[in-house]
Structure 1
Amino acid sequence: MTTIDYNAIAELSLSGELIDRTTAKSILSAPDLVLLEQLNAAYKVRHHYWSNRVRLHFLLNAQSGLCPEDCNYCSQSKISSAEIEKYPLIAQDRILAAADRAADLKAGTFCMAISGRSPSESVFGNVLEAFKAVKAKHDLKICACLGLLSEDQTQQLAAIGVDRVNHNLNTSENHHENICSTHTFRDRVNTLQNVQKAGITTCSGGILGMNETDDDIIDLAYSLRDLDVTSVPINFLIPIAGTPLSDINQLNPRRCLRILSLFRFILPKQEIRIAGGREVHLRSLQVMGLYPANSIFIGDYLTTTGQSASNDLAMIRDGGFVLENPDGSVLETEDNQVLKVKFKQSVTNNQ
């Protein structure tokens, strides 16, 4: 067995050099015996750019189901028979109530997603008005997840001050046709490039555990690096009953931690967020994911629930990490008093 010098990998990553494919594959296939070495090296890179700070994002599913796309992983797609809530765009007052909750939890970013291929003109207009209302009320960054977007649509989002647009690549270009046939990998890249042309920062990541190979995982990370995305959500597939991938179970906590470490080495300065599937696949090792990653969603996901906010805050506190304010400054005081107060408030809110 070839011995890997993980400190050397960390130094290579910090120097800005790209981890080669052979090394990347070795990271993904490494034995559990060296997992702590991997995490230590990944944390060295993470700490250089992010110290021990953790960013919180809050996600609202503002329009659910009724989607004409055939993404195999998604409970909202046209080929899914999953038992989920289906509803058109919710009213602005409900969107503002969700933003209130995000602010209460000290989330730096309010992420709003709608189902569908691309928003209709009327839905897009209502989304713009809702975003303007949130901006007027709260000092929150807004991340819009609206499907495929044209140059004109991204320009309109930029004009009202949307901070970020999410559009995940989801998987490698090679594996994409096995996951979705109603749009292409290139369609997704085009949306990200439209976002960048508009001067909005990009949020794009993937879903792991969808029968992809190690090469597919590496290709996804390389593509995100080539696109120079700002924020990278890493989702771990939740095999939802009623979807074509409902019987897939390829992940365990150690595999997830190796994937997160690889993404940190390839994307050293990016915000890396542990997104959907964190509770399902990392389980009791969730806090270890914060050694390579520096961000999580607090609250629920699109059609699945997350763990309680109080447990998230306890995890962050117990791991020795600190929260960020929306402006990127540290929320906590040295003795953790601010986080303890927020933790107690969250416990009360969840009872």
Structure 2
Amino acid sequence: MMREWDAVAQSVLAGNLLTSEEALAGLQTPDRDLLDLLAAAYRVRYYYYQNRVKLNYLVNAKSGYCPEDCHYCSQSRLSTAEIPKYHLLEASDIVARARHGIQLQAGTCCIVLSGRRPAAKELDVVAEAARILKAEHPGVKICACLGLLSEAEARQLKAAGVDRYNHNLNTAPDRYDEICSTHTYEDRVHTVGSVQSAGISPCSGVIIGMGETPDDIVRMIDELRRLNVDSVPVNFLLPIPGTPLAERPLSMTPTWVLKVLSVFRLGLPDKEIRISAGREVHLRSLQPMALYAANALFVSDYLTEPGQDAALDWAMIEDLGFEIEPLGTPMGPVPARA
């Protein structure tokens, strides 16, 4: 099996696409062969990103009060979860929170608003915060996540210094209606296209653990490849009390999570793969091994749920012999030549 997965890695590095059959085989790999699969993923990861780990930091600039009904989300209109709720922060407060992320060695700060799409005033405030942050820290990468977006709105953010825009696909196309009814999968795809057209780097990812099949996961990878997104956050469902998915059992094992991340790496070889929400719960003691497939993670807390202490993340990276990507590093892969 080792030679087989090594051959798959070699094929991917030669420019061949991971086939659906290979992706399914990766997801169905027996645990005894997991290290062979992970080694193949690491070979590809190392070629494009060496041992660098990009740290991302979330700034929750508007929390709760969302009119959408995304079943997984603690901020949706269906949720009764006890979370902080507040309207849009001032630009100065957004910048202050982003500064904290930079102190935690995050090279990318992501400004997030709850809601269907940003109002004009909200867009102006985020743009102002981006301009201030860029003036103070030219090397920081700014990501925004504000909901559905038009190309004109994306161009406003681009002009203010926003480098990347996140809008997750979340699940496979034919399953989307099961997790949300207030907007469509096509709405999300349109937003990804809008930010690409405006010259902003597109970020779009998934949530694993909402009842999808292995075939669904393969379709997610195919869709992200088709849309040619640059960054892929891979979330693992946190069944938050008060949300429609609260009773979904925590059935994912750490080895399953590693298989998923390995297949995402092999299927999207040169993309930023970020282990995101749920890593602490589902990977547990195997968190460090995920970085053999993924090259990025969120440091500190998520939007409404606590994450691992930043010092533990730093230690995890150091213990692996990896290094935190320094502020100012260009986005995207820098293929190894040795």
Name the counterpart of 1:347.
Answer: none
TM-score (norm 2): 0.95
Name the counterpart of 1:7.
Answer: 6
Deviation of 1:25 (Å):
1.1
In structure 2, distance between residues paired with 1:294 and 1:304 = 22
In structure 2, distance between residues paired with 1:26 and 1:289 = 19
- Deviations, residues 13-40 of structure 1 (Å, cap 9, x unaligned): 1122122212211111111000111111
| 1:66–1:86 contact (8 Å) kept in structure 2 | yes
Which letter maps to 2:258? Answer: L
Name the counterpart of 2:160.
Answer: 160
Deviation of 1:234 (Å):
0.5
In structure 1, distance between residues paired with 2:175 and 2:268 = 21
Name the counterpart of 1:233.
Answer: 233
In structure 2, distance between residues paired with 1:322 and 1:50 = 11
| 1:103–1:138 contact (8 Å) kept in structure 2 | no
Q: Does 1:293 align with 2:273?
A: no
Name the counterpart of 1:90.
Answer: 89
Q: Which secondary structure does the structure 2 equivalent of 1:180 belong to? A: coil
In structure 1, distance between residues paired with 2:173 and 2:153 = 25
Name the counterpart of 1:116.
Answer: 115
| 1:56–1:297 contact (8 Å) kept in structure 2 | yes
In structure 2, distance between residues paired with 1:13 and 1:243 = 39
Structure 1 alignment gaps of length 5 or more:
330-351
Deviation of 1:103 (Å):
1.7
Q: Superposition pairs for residues 32-51 of structure 1, below 5 Å? A: 32-51=31-50
| 1:211–1:250 contact (8 Å) kept in structure 2 | no
| 2:2–2:37 contact (8 Å) kept in structure 1 | no
Deviation of 1:328 (Å):
2.2
Deviation of 1:92 (Å):
2.2
Name the counterpart of 1:202.
Answer: 202
Name the counterpart of 2:103.
Answer: 104
Q: Which secondary structure does the structure 2 equivalent of 1:175 belong to? A: helix
Count of residue pairs the alignment pairs up: 328
In structure 2, distance between residues paired with 1:14 and 1:225 = 16
Moved more, 52-61 or 3-12: 3-12
Deviation of 1:4 (Å):
7.9
CA RMSD after TM alignment = 1.3
Deviation of 1:3 (Å):
9.0
Deviation of 1:91 (Å):
1.9
Q: Does 1:247 align with 2:227?
A: no
Which letter maps to 2:265? Answer: R
In structure 2, distance between residues paired with 1:62 and 1:161 = 17
Deviation of 1:250 (Å):
3.0
Percent identity, please.
52
In structure 1, distance between residues paired with 2:327 and 2:168 = 23
Q: Which secondary structure does the structure 2 equivalent of 1:234 belong to? A: strand
In structure 2, distance between residues paired with 1:44 and 1:53 = 14
- Deviations, residues 176-230 of structure 1 (Å, cap 9, x unaligned): 1111111111100100000000011111111100001111111111111111111
Name the counterpart of 2:55.
Answer: 56
Which letter maps to 1:5? Answer: E
In structure 2, distance between residues paired with 1:129 and 1:72 = 32
In structure 1, distance between residues paired with 2:27 and 2:299 = 27
Structure 2 alignment gaps of length 5 or more:
331-338
Name the counterpart of 1:348.
Answer: none
Q: Does 1:316 align with 2:330?
A: no
| 2:2–2:36 contact (8 Å) kept in structure 1 | no
- Deviations, residues 267-310 of structure 1 (Å, cap 9, x unaligned): 00001110111111111000000000000111110110111110
Name the counterpart of 2:16.
Answer: 17
Q: Which secondary structure does the structure 2 equivalent of 1:144 belong to? A: strand
Moved more, 6-15 or 31-40: 6-15
Q: Which secondary structure does the structure 1 equivalent of 2:110 belong to? A: strand
Name the counterpart of 1:31.
Answer: 30
In structure 1, distance between residues paired with 2:302 and 2:35 = 29
Q: Which secondary structure does the structure 2 equivalent of 1:189 belong to? A: helix
Deviation of 1:100 (Å):
1.4
